[in-house]
Chain A
Amino acid sequence: MGKTSRRHVLKGAAGLGLLSLAPLQQLRAQTSEITVTSFGGIWEEAIRDIFVAEFTKRTGVEAEIQIGGPAQWMSQIEANLDSPPIDVLVNTIDLALIAGETGLVEKIRADKVPNLAKIPDRFTDVVEGWGTCFDYGAAGLAYNRERLPNPPKSFVEFVDRCAAGDFVASLPSISYSPTPQILIWSFADVFGGSVDDVGPAFDAIKKMGDNAIFYSSVTEFLNHLASGEADIGIYWDGRTWAYYDSGQTWIDFINPSEGSVMNPVVVQKVVNTPDVAWDYIDVMLAAAPQTRFAEVLNYGVTNVDVVYPPELAKRITPWEATRWPPFKQIGAMIPKWVDRWNREIGA
């Protein structure tokens, strides 16, 4: 046996280094694994325990979950489009449309995804076929009922009473990605503006003045309510109920009279990824996994065959009763709105 020299060791180390730079896609192909995406916290637990478990049971293929946010995932895909590090992308509508237009994802195919037939067309049309929606949240008013026994019943009352100093409100800041839909467009819609005229929304936010504070993450909103920094705010129905179920029974949710703002979550197949990714999407659209997902997250799901348990049905905001923002037009306006926000609101 030859003597091991320093040169051999260096060569070996260099070889190992090069191996670590080999395309991850090839390695993943060998190990029959795909990479799917999820938001953090309870979302990730539900994705892993329900969709990934069911997918692996059906196909024998493992799915690794990458936690994060759509903008970050899209940047990763964009950086390596020939061999993307992500196979299935969970996305917001505005970014889902951009992902489609910029060639990051494929059009969804009924022949590859049989459960697509069980999803109302509106959820596929809203993303122009660049995937479809599998669940949705509704942005209404979450509040601390111990400190605010008489909460506002509408967005107009919410703004007026906040401006009058009745309570401190927590609003999503411009650093929170759904803010253009759930705050700027929503207020513009409620106060007589439109996607082309969001002046009334900015006026309303300014009117709330120092009695409005801003959150940049879903957790921060709950901290605002728990610490007493705010009494009420614009928030998601599902996350409110999940927090309630964790023992924080002082929190409550109102669907304002104008209607909460619809915010569906889109699932998309990334280009240049294996066909088995379609199977994962099919699992995400199936009735049984969606029902379990709704039970865990308290969010509405999109398969028409899903029957919510009675207690859950009371909490779910029906998608037909929500306001649907013009997602595509909003997507084009976001840079202008962000710039205006920075100059006029600053948070």
Chain B
Amino acid sequence: MAVEVDHGAGVAIRGQAPPAYSPVSLRWVWPAGLFLFAFFLAPLVEIGLRSFEPSRGAEEVYWLVQYDRLLLDSFYLGVIGETIGLSLVTTIVSILIGYPVAYFLVRHAGRWHGMIIFLLIAPLLTSIIMRTYGWQVLLARRGLINETLIDLGVIDTPMRWLNSPEAIVIGLVHVLVPFMVLSIAAVLQGIDTSLEESARSLGAGRLRTFWRVTLPLSLDGVGTGAILVFMLANGSFVTLLLLGGGSLQTLPLLIFQQFNTTRDFAFAAAMSNVLLVLAIACLYLQLRLIKRRGVVG
């Protein structure tokens, strides 16, 4: 019996009238499509239009004034650089921490596998603000780390851990590393261990086997995790506000400032668009990089 797929009405049998109802009908896409239009595309267009308006009371009123401010001023270019730099560092540190954890989880955890997954996901159930405040308590001038180091005689006066780029990276990695671990673990799980065994039996050592077989085959997971972590770090705000103390200035912080302090919505809209374009460009570059390694696509 010949069966063909009719995308409008589902599965139809040749020579018979198509059924009136099918669960695979494209009609079911409408609610999600409408939702996406109303709460993503329409606001995006609104933000796009607003970014071409002048600021309230501004002397210069030409349509690209906000983008000129952002892209021709060395200060704001520095902010854009810090935004990308922070996301890159967070992504690299997350890979360095996340890969060994994912490897252990898949290859050596055994009966602890479920427990480790739970421990990875459990922090995500807590508010990001609570987790960040936790770091404030640990890293404070009279916090647990400084007090312990002083008690042990390692330092005489409290060190300044908080309000630094390092504190921001620690906070972000803590929040984002589970995404990296789960992405890598999902791919590692699917690698046929007989490939590694073949390499070993052909004389490759553990390190070489990992470097030439396991790592290339798991790059897909690393790529997915990197994209997730990079994107989330790119738009992160609370961690920077609470742990950064102004030591780094990124676009999300300045966007918040335009809403909260200056009420310059046009400038905030231009910053949002630049942040979006940056994210898309970095996503494209990462995908290109992964594709070139022959892992995706």
B247 at the interface (CB under 8 A from A): yes
Could you tell me if A342 and B254 are in contact, using CB atoms closer than 8 angstroms? yes
In chain B, residues 230-288, which have Cβ atoms closer than 8 Å to a Cβ of chain A?
241-242, 245-247, 249, 253-254, 256-257, 259-265
Could you tell me if B262 and A343 are in contact, using CB atoms closer than 8 angstroms? no
Residue of A6, A98, A230, A346 touching B246 (CB-CB under 8 A): A346
Q: Decide: A346 near B247, CB < 8 A? Known: A175-B260, A223-B133, A228-B141.
A: yes
CA distance A343 to B257 in the complex (A): 14
CB distance from A20 to the nearest CB of B (A): 12
Say which size band chain A's interface belongs to. Answer: 20 to 34
Chain A residues closer than 8 Å to B90, beta-carbon distance: none
Q: Decide: A227 near B249, CB < 8 A? Known: A6-B21, A69-B260, A338-B257.
A: no
In chain A, residues 79-96, which have Cβ atoms closer than 8 Å to a Cβ of chain B?
95
Q: Decide: A335 near B256, CB < 8 A? Known: A223-B133, A227-B140, A227-B142.
A: no
- Number of B interface residues in the complex (CB < 8 A): 31
Q: Decide: A177 near B141, CB < 8 A? Known: A220-B242, A347-B245.
A: no
CA distance A230 to B141 in the complex (A): 8
Could you tell me if A345 and B246 are in contact, using CB atoms closer than 8 angstroms? yes
Chain B residues closer than 8 Å to A210, beta-carbon distance: 160
Could you tell me if A347 and B246 are in contact, using CB atoms closer than 8 angstroms? yes
B42 at the interface (CB under 8 A from A): no
A139 at the interface (CB under 8 A from B): no
CA distance A343 to B75 in the complex (A): 7
Residue of B21, B241, B247, B264 touching A335 (CB-CB under 8 A): B264
CB distance from B44 to the nearest CB of A (A): 16
B143 at the interface (CB under 8 A from A): yes
Given contact pairs A173-B246, A216-B242, enumerate 17 new A-B contacts (beta carbons under 8 Å). Answer: A71-B263, A72-B259, A98-B263, A173-B245, A174-B261, A175-B253, A175-B256, A175-B260, A179-B261, A214-B245, A214-B246, A227-B141, A229-B136, A229-B142, A229-B143, A332-B57, A342-B257
Could you list 29 examples of A-B contacts with CB < 8 Å? Answer: A6-B21, A69-B260, A71-B261, A95-B263, A174-B261, A177-B260, A177-B261, A179-B261, A180-B261, A213-B162, A213-B245, A214-B163, A214-B246, A216-B241, A216-B242, A220-B242, A228-B141, A228-B142, A228-B143, A229-B136, A229-B141, A230-B141, A334-B262, A338-B257, A338-B261, A343-B75, A345-B246, A346-B246, A347-B247
Interchain residue pairs A-B with the least CB separation, the first 5: A347-B246, A228-B142, A227-B140, A229-B140, A335-B262
**Interface of B toward A, CB cutoff 8 Å:** 21, 55, 57, 75, 133, 136-137, 140-143, 160, 162-163, 241-242, 245-247, 249, 253-254, 256-257, 259-265
